[in-house]
Amino acid sequence: MKNCFLFSAFLLLILLPSIARAVSISGFVSDEETGETLIGATVRVKDEKLGAYTNKNGFYSISGLENSTYEFIVSCVGYETKIEKLSFKKNQDIRKDFKLKISSVETEEISVEAAKDLENREFMVSKVNIPVQQIKKLKIGGESDLFRALQYLPGVLTSSQISSGLFVRGGSPDQNLVLLDGTSVYNPSHVFGFISTFNSEAIKDVELIKGGFPAEFGGRLSAVLNLTQKDGNKSKVEGLGSIGFISSRLSLEGPLGNGSWFIGGRRTYLEIIKELLPKNPENPYPSFNFYDINAKISQNITGDDKISLSGFLSADNFDIGSYGMNMDLEVGNRLGAAKWTHVFSSSLFSTLNLSASQYLNTFKGDNSGYEFLIDNSITDYTAKGSLDWFASEKLSSKFGFESTNFSFKYLQNFTGNTDSTKTGTSGGTINLEILDWNHSLFAQTNYRMTELFSLQAGIRTNYWILSEKLSWDPRLAIRYQFQDNITLKAAWGVFHQSLRLAAQPDFSFFDTWLPTDTSIGISSSTHYILSLETIPAEGYDLNFDLYYKRFLNINEINMNALQIDIVKDLFYVGNANAYGAEVFLQKKTGRFSGWIGYGLGFIFSKFKDINFGKEFRPKYDRLHDLKVVLQYSISSNWDIGTTFTFQSGQSYTGATSRFQSKMPEDAYGKGKIVPSQRYGLRLPPSHQLNVNASYMFNTFGLESKLILDIYNVYNRRDIWFRYYNVQEAETKIEDVRLLPIIPSISYEIKF
């Protein structure tokens, strides 16, 4: 592991001659009304090619200033631009915090000049930021949902319209690193996947990196979704309540000591609606509900020290009973984290995060007195820290570590009596606990070699105790500014993952996580990305991406496994290639906002024991992917929006023939099909239109909003999956279709 730091030290020795002593300015940028720190705000020196973006903690640092007077331009999407003049004395660094006012009128001006001149110290390729305010306006089935918004980006696919799992550029959902305040979340979907577990009212920043992510992120093969929770209002107590078609929400926030607090919750009430429906003893309605709670406390201990405690809890319950059979499914996430940030100086910033995260699910039933139980969980305890060094206006570096203790538990009892469970594996019972450790170190450096050319180099090393595997993950990205509004970016990187997920693509409600042991190789991927980013007009971003991903030692679940002694017994192991092109036009501000994206993608998988060892295109593969999201503010009272998708049909496995099997006393028997090439056929194209409108008004002097949403406007019920019905003498092809048109209405009130 020491080679990781030797590499960084060597790189810094080469670059140190470029570091000159100069004065600097640093501090935090926050919302003037609430005190909430702002992520991605720009602080720029007027008439100079100097500036910085605020990081995830709202902190910025600008070096390379001389003993002079400068005008600083501070801006952020949705806020009024602030200009302030400051004078610097010899060798005097300045600590300056800026507060911005929310823009009273949505303006087209978002400091495009800053976007032209400002060099982001930690530039990333294939990164997408969607303003949270846009996400809140994007309603699907009456709900504002984070994952639903991300699914409208090119290169981001789902297994169906009712799934919130994200398949990013050929990677599966378990290959995405999902972070909430720096802590891993293992199953970010509620039961059946129609809604994600993240309440948009609790989130203040959404960052999706679709590939080529830097060395500070590791442990996953495909993409990174980095979410930051709100700190809360530091000035006054306020709240927001909402009653919708699917669920109701309530959030509260306010000042506490030298900081703030926030708590937000959401709950469905489908089990209450069920009680109002006519009873049907023969075919009873299932009972289903979920809730999720976000909470956070932040305190500024000193001007240089800030601590925060954050928590997240979600739980789902689904049960149904008929004909002597009762089944109950419970799924949940639990997360707690403590973070300490410290400003050593204008050029040195540190973060320490201690966290615990758990995903668990339980499936139990009773069939006329015969009980069965499946219970599994993954728990991790993680400590990680990083150190940001803003050495000069040309050079910045980041170093860090991460250490995680994993506990995997799996209990299966098919003995008929769930009270008698033994440790180990015996007739009808499996009771296992697997422990593992992962230790990681990383270092990355950003260097602007000229005004036009800059690079980012990094390396990450990982060691897993259980598999006794050591990996090295080098990363490299370059940025070349052709002219003010045209930038070329490229990235290459190696990524490794030890965790494996046993799950079906269509059903995310019973995921089983397992580590890699010595029986199987660590999964790996290599990314190659080329991106052209342009600003064709003021307020618009137009990006073109080409990508190629090579996956090795990835897995698909073996449904025919009869006995599992090692991890390899549960999985088929193979390789895959994914490549494609994307076009993305985005407008973040103004009365008219939204985006249009198109993706052309190819995915080819090859497993020795699947499809006779021949290549196939997985179920979630879609050749064409068109997404449109448009929002328009008609007036101060009325907003309208629409979303549209058009995608190639999913792959499915056909049948070549059918045979009949029967016992001597069975007159007819049972039909069996002989499958054809795996996923060799395609369903018809999928497309859907949704519209919504919101009206703002006052209820007893309180800000209120009435929202009308129409899901699936022209009532096209796409095919969820296709199967062969062999119950009759003649085989029939049957389609299970998705949801019809669903109008819904919701009401929000801010107090």
What is the 3-class SS of 593-613, one letter each residue? EEEEEEEEEEEEEEECCCHHH
**Can you list the pairs that 6-14 forms with residues at least 24 positions away whose Cβ atoms lie under 8 Å?**
7/443, 7/459, 8/397, 8/399, 8/443, 8/445, 8/459, 11/445, 11/457, 12/397, 12/445
β-bridge mates for residue 74, sequence order: 43, 82
- Looking up tokens 């000229």, which residue turns up? 450
Condensed to tens digits (0 to 9), the pLDDT of residues 464-517 reads: 999 989 999 999 999 998 887 889 999 999 999 999 887 665 555 567 888 888
Residue 225, token pair as written in the block:
């979704």
CATH number at residue 74: 2.60.40.1120
Query: For residue 214, what are the contacts with CB-CB under 8 A and spacing of at least 6?
Result: 122, 124, 444, 456, 458, 475, 477
Q: What is the pLDDT of residue 542?
A: 92
Mean pLDDT of the chain: 83
Res 751 pLDDT > 90:
no
Condensed to tens digits (0 to 9), the pLDDT of residues 218-252 reads: 999 999 999 999 999 999 999 999 887 777 889 99
Burial (CB count <10 Å: 0-12, 13-18, 19+), residue 174: buried
pLDDT band at residue 121 using 50, 70 and 90 as cut-offs: very low
Of the chain, the percentage scoring pLDDT greater than 90 comes to 35
Q: What is the pLDDT of residue 120?
A: 43
Q: What is the pLDDT of residue 114?
A: 44
The Cα 234–Cα 31 span in angstroms is 10
Nearest Cα to Cα of residue 550 among 599, 494, 593: 494
Q: What is the pLDDT of residue 20?
A: 45
Tell me whether residue 57 is in a domain: yes
Nearest Cα to Cα of residue 355 among 175, 229, 178, 184: 184
Nearest 10 degrees: CA dihedral of 649, 653, 654, 658? -160
Tell me whether residue 70 is in a domain: yes
Condensed to tens digits (0 to 9), the pLDDT of residues 264-292 reads: 998 887 666 666 666 666 556 667 778 88
Res 306 pLDDT > 70:
yes
Residue 23, token pair as written in the block:
């004065």
Residue 726, token pair as written in the block:
């062999």
Three-class SS state of 353: strand
Structural domain range at position 17: 2-117
Tell me whether residue 44 is in a domain: yes
The Cα 214–Cα 491 span in angstroms is 9
Res 415 pLDDT > 60:
yes
Pairing mode of beta strands 571-587, 540-557: antiparallel
Tell me whether residue 538 is in a domain: no
The DSSP output letter for 568 is G
The whole-number average pLDDT for the span 648-666 is 76
- Pick from 59-63, 115-119, 476-480 the range whose average pLDDT is largest: 476-480
Minimum mean pLDDT range among 160-169, 644-653, 713-722: 160-169
The whole-number average pLDDT for the span 140-151 is 75
Give the type of residue at 664.
P
The DSSP output letter for 734 is E
- HSE toward the beta carbon, residue 34, CA cutoff 13 A: 21
Of the chain, the percentage scoring pLDDT greater than 70 comes to 84
Q: How many C-beta atoms surround the C-beta of residue 269 within 10 A?
A: 12
Res 126 pLDDT > 80:
yes
Q: Say what the pTM is.
A: 0.88
Q: What is the pLDDT of residue 276?
A: 66
Number of domains in the chain: 1
The Cα 323–Cα 281 span in angstroms is 9
Residue 729, token pair as written in the block:
């003498």
Nearest Cα to Cα of residue 589 among 181, 197, 162, 112: 112
Tell me whether residue 340 is in a domain: no
Cα angle at 84 between 78 and 87, to 5 degrees?
150
- The radius of gyration of the chain from alpha carbons, rounded to an integer in Å, stands at 27
User: How far from each other are the two terminal CA atoms of the chain, in whole angstroms?
Assistant: 53
Q: What is the pLDDT of residue 324?
A: 58
- Pick from 126-130, 626-630, 730-734 the range whose average pLDDT is largest: 626-630
Tell me whether residue 94 is in a domain: yes
pLDDT band at residue 351 using 50, 70 and 90 as cut-offs: very high
Cα angle at 449 between 443 and 450, to 5 degrees?
150
Backbone phi and psi for residue 276, each to the nearest 5 degrees, phi listed first: -85, -15
Tell me whether residue 87 is in a domain: yes
Contact at 8 Å (CB) between 246 and 268? yes
Nearest Cα to Cα of residue 165 among 463, 446, 501: 501
The Cα 638–Cα 181 span in angstroms is 34
Residue 585, token pair as written in the block:
């036009």
Contact at 8 Å (CB) between 429 and 422? yes
Cα angle at 738 between 736 and 742, to 5 degrees?
145
The whole-number average pLDDT for the span 116-135 is 68
Minimum mean pLDDT range among 406-415, 422-431, 553-562, 593-602: 422-431
Burial (CB count <10 Å: 0-12, 13-18, 19+), residue 204: middle
**Furthest C-alpha separation in the chain:** 100
Tell me whether residue 303 is in a domain: no
Q: How many C-beta atoms surround the C-beta of residue 61 within 10 A?
A: 25
In angstroms, what CA-CA distances link 302 with 37, 54, 259, 305? 16, 19, 11, 5
Q: What is the pLDDT of residue 426?
A: 53
The Cα 505–Cα 567 span in angstroms is 20
Q: What is the pLDDT of residue 16?
A: 47
In the chain, DSSP finds a helix count (H) and a strand count (E) of 5, 48
The whole-number average pLDDT for the span 533-545 is 89
Res 421 pLDDT > 90:
no
Three-class SS state of 396: strand
| More confident: 138 or 555 | 555
Res 110 pLDDT > 60:
no
pLDDT band at residue 315 using 50, 70 and 90 as cut-offs: confident
| More confident: 102 or 558 | 102
